[in-house]
Amino acid sequence: MPHEQDDPAARAPAAKRWRVGITNRSTPPFVFEDRGFRGEAEFVYLDSSRETDFAAEKLRDLDALLIWSPTLGEETIGHLEACRIVVRYGVGYDRIDIAALNRAGIAFSNNPDYGVTEVAETAVSMILALQRRILLHDWRARSYRETWQGNQIRPTKRVGETTVGLIGVGRIGGCACRMLSGLGFRVIGYDPYIPAGSEKVLGFERVHDLQDLVRRADVVSLHCPLTEETRGMVDERFIAAMKPHAILVNTARGALIADLDCIERALRSERLFGAGLDALTEEPPQDEPLIRAWRAGEDWLQGRVIINPHVAFYSDEAWDELRFKAAETAWLYLEKNMHRNRIGEPPEDGDQENEGRRQGCQT
């Protein structure tokens, strides 16, 4: 009789408890996802940003799907025959057919708390750079020869006399609020979905009318999710209601702005002094007037616009954290029957704990 150590079955690795699909952006080896699943998952790499590339046979026996940038529609969801939960690596979920997931009895969660401080820091950094005219001074100073210190730029307001209006005062907006208040900015906020008294905790003046915020703010910073209520909210009328020479910052979702043309016209006419954009209506951006002027470094725009490639969330630590937390959310649901950050209706066969909150104007 062979010794146990010689038995091939004894030497084979133990079967993994869960089979989990992972889409683009997270690449093997899935170290942080493996930690989230406590070493109990076999991972199937779906290396594409298009759901039409996902082979049906790879989807059928997945217990969970972790998704980054692809859309997820009804046809693909129909192939998830064994799947119990889909988790999006990021915060926004406007490209996910939640209703189809509900019909299929598949739970869905987003991942809202991995890069909170990073996004807030980016928004505050853009506000400071534009409000203090730092980029514009840097650009103009290149041509100074005979004069130097006398080249002030008007208007430049003192921080303590500058009002920042936050649209959305949830996780990220609240974090930005604390940072801005610490720097001395006056902060007002609009968010009908956060509890009464939140303004006392965070230290901002709560306004109950969006138009009131737009009218009063020297800087408007967007921190709300993309919903039918907020899609295209920043348009010609919105900008026309802002103070002359105001600043607009968007580190949330690109489609909160109706189009880049309204931003270009407002900057060119100097209705807006500046804009800081981490998220765009289309990514990568197309050959629109604002993008052409920005890429060409046209003089009228220099120092007045900041465009980042949707990286406000990023730090080395946040990237690792988002991968771990997305995986752990799926593991908690499969292993502990706990539904963290739930979006949509619970499946009929479960009574999972809902740790999420109504999204509303919050991020």
How far apart, in whole angstroms, are the C-alpha atoms of residue 241 and residue 245? 12
What is the Cα 306 distance to its own chain's centre? 17
Contact call for residues 362 and 170 (beta carbons, < 8 A): yes
Answer whether 66's CB lies under 8 Å from 59's CB. no
Task: Find the catalytic residue in 253, 304, 339, 340.
Answer: 253
Contacts of residue 324, Cβ cutoff 8 Å, sequence gap at least 6: 32, 33, 35, 36
Residue 147 phi, psi (nearest 5)? -120, 160
Number of helices and strands (H, E) in the chain?
Answer: 14, 14
Whether 310 is catalytic is: yes
DSSP structure string for 212-279:
HHHHH-SEEEE-----TTTTT-BSHHHHHHSPTTEEEEE-S-GGGBS-HHHHHHHHHTTSEEEEEESS
Q: Report d(CA 189, CA 224) in Å as an integer.
A: 11
Q: What is the DSSP string of 282-343?
A: SSS--S-HHHHHHHHT-TTTTTTEEE--S-TT--HHHHHHHHHHHHHHHHHHHHH-EETTB-
Active-site residue identified among 74, 283, 298, 355: 283
Contacts of residues 237-240 at CB distance under 8 Å and 24 or more positions apart, as own/partner, are: 238/214, 239/263, 239/266, 239/271, 239/272, 240/271
Strand partners, 206: 189
**Whether 38 is catalytic:** no
Residue 145 a catalytic site member: no
Nearest Cα to 54, choosing from 83, 11, 15, 31?
83
Mapping DSSP onto H, E and C, the string for 151-173 reads CCCCCCCCHHHCEEEEECCCHHH
Which residues are tagged catalytic?
A: 253, 283, 310
